[in-house]
Structure 1
Amino acid sequence: MENVLLPVFYLPPISWFSVFLNPENEVFFEQYESFPKQTFRNRTNIYGANGKLSLIIPIDHTGKREIKDIEISYREDWLKIHWKSIKNVYRGSAYFEYYEDKFEVLYQKKEKYLLDFNLKSIDIIQKILKTEKAYSLSEEYIKNPSEINFREKFSTKAEPEFEMEEYYQIFTDKYGFLKDLSILDLICNKGPESVTYLKNIK
């Protein structure tokens, strides 16, 4: 068993879930890091009609920096916008209708803190995947942790290092396969096969 330190993301990328659900990993979620901009902590990527589409959660700039204290801004109705975007994109996928009600729950309540919202998104995905992976929250920030450190492993800008097989996506015929999108994309297109797919990622 290896101890792994993971950042907490919004509907995380497929590669993140492959690390999280690996039975060899005991997972700790980082809650004391200083909030970095332009990461998956407040964004998720889906396959839109024009290619990769980033859904970004706006942050309320209160001066607080630790991820556990970052507050969400509701000056615009992004909950409605994100849910509408997801429905528009995935309603034509093979499995969206089976999971729609579970996904919709995420967009029905205004969570104050980003961390709480992200944890809720991960718990919803676990219910859909029928997994019960336990995790712990970090108790302090450690610059050089003893755990395997994934805090900076998942980049919104660089090509993911993980190897994963192509699967059919809604707009594959138009733009080809887009690698390592949100776990949402995998679930909507692969359904019950998603867990098996995650186990095969290297």
Structure 2
Amino acid sequence: MPAVLFESQYNPPAAFFTELLGAEALWLEAHEHYRKQTYRNRCLILTAQGTQALTVPVIDGNRSEKVLTTEIEIDYRQNWIHRHWRTLQTAYGGTPYFEYYAEYLHDIYFQKPQRLFELNTLLLRFYFRCLRLRLPVHLTPEYVAPSAASQLHNFTISPLLDRRDWLTPKAAVSPEPDRTSVRPYPQSFGKDFVPGLSILDLLFMQGPAAGSFLS
């Protein structure tokens, strides 16, 4: 299986991890300019009112797209951690495995890393442990435009599958559903299965069995 190239994401959708099954490695894009209104700083969860986005505020958001994604700083002047945590407690406090993971997640959030990329990486490594994914994570040494994807093999001796901006909040259901499928599982609200949610939804509902729902 080829290595996979993704942008750094905040609490990624479960489909992010589906793409990593059997992959040789994960490469994180470290030399792009930051893009707003993407999974880089937001995730989707399920609440009693339906799907809700949780967004990490960044400093100088109006000029953020001119800054390298690894340099984007989190805006702690806004009490976003408290809001996210309260929302997660309200949405998932009654799920089978919220308490199982809550302390670990709480510790990550309250490290208060300066940069968004750092926070996303801390969370990513935690999810790797939860899902028992054992593959190396590398940072890209330079930026290669999608139009020049044939050059991506220079990063690694194996083929590299470019999945940058393949998943977006505006189209939570991918145009390639067969490649982002997550086996339906019972969710905390509603009768119909809601796809495209953060990995948190699957973990809180299925716990250590979460990995078996990735397909």
Q: Deviations over 1:45-76 (max 9, x none)?
A: 11011000100000101855110111111121
* Secondary structure of residue in 2 paired with 1:72: coil
Match of 1:184 among 175, 183, 200: 200
Please show how residues 127-166 of structure 1 align to structure 2 within 5 Å. 127-143=129-145, 144-145=148-149, 146=152, 147-158=160-171, 159-160=173-174, 161=177, 162-166=180-184
Provide the rounded CA distance (Å) in 2 between the counterparts of 1:110 and 1:6: 23
Aligned to 2:80: 78
CA distance in 2, matches of 1:180, 1:79: 22
Q: CA deviation at 1:86?
A: 0.7
2:116 maps to amino acid: L
Residue 84 of structure 1, CA deviation: 1.1
Task: Name the TM-score, length of structure 1 as normaliser.
Answer: 0.91
Output the CA distance in 1 between the equivalents of 2:89 and 2:72.
27
The structural deviation recorded for 1:25 is: 3.5
Task: Confirm or deny that 1:194 pairs with 2:210.
Answer: yes
Whether the 8 Å CA contact 1:48–1:89 is kept in 2: the answer is yes
List gaps (5 residues or longer) in structure 1. Answer: none
Deviations 1:20-40 (A, max 9, x none): 3x1234221101111111100
**Partner AA of 2:199 in structure 1:** I
Matched residues in 2 for 1:130 and 1:166: separation? Answer: 20
Give the whole-Å Cα distance in 2 for the aligned partners of 1:10 and 1:4.
17
| Superposed displacement of residue 121, structure 1 | 0.8
| Cα distance, 1:192 vs structure 2 | 1.6
Q: Distance in 2 between matches of 1:98 and 1:37?
A: 32
Aligned length: 196
Equivalent positions of 1:25-36 (< 5 A) are 25-36=24-35
- Bigger shift: 67-76 or 164-173? 164-173
Task: Indicate the RMSD between aligned Cα atoms, in angstroms.
Answer: 1.5
Cα drift, residue 193 of structure 1: 1.4
Per-residue CA deviation, residues 162-201 of structure 1 (Å, 9 max, x unaligned), is: 223221100024xx22102000000011112111111xx2
State the match for 1:121 in structure 2: 123
* Deviation, structure 1 residue 132: 3.1
Moved more, 45-54 or 97-106: 97-106
CA distance in 1, matches of 2:23, 2:128: 17
Runs of at least 5 residues in structure 2 that lack an aligned partner in the other structure: 153-159
Match of 2:37 in 1: 38
Whichever residue aligns with residue 29 of structure 1, its letter is L
| Paired amino acid for 1:172 | G
Query: Which segments of structure 1 move beyond 3 Å, counting only runs of 4 or more?
Result: none
**2:190 match:** 172
CA contact (8 A) 1:99 1:128 kept: no
Q: Is the 8 A contact 2:43 2:55 kept in 1?
A: yes
1:46 counterpart letter in structure 2:
I
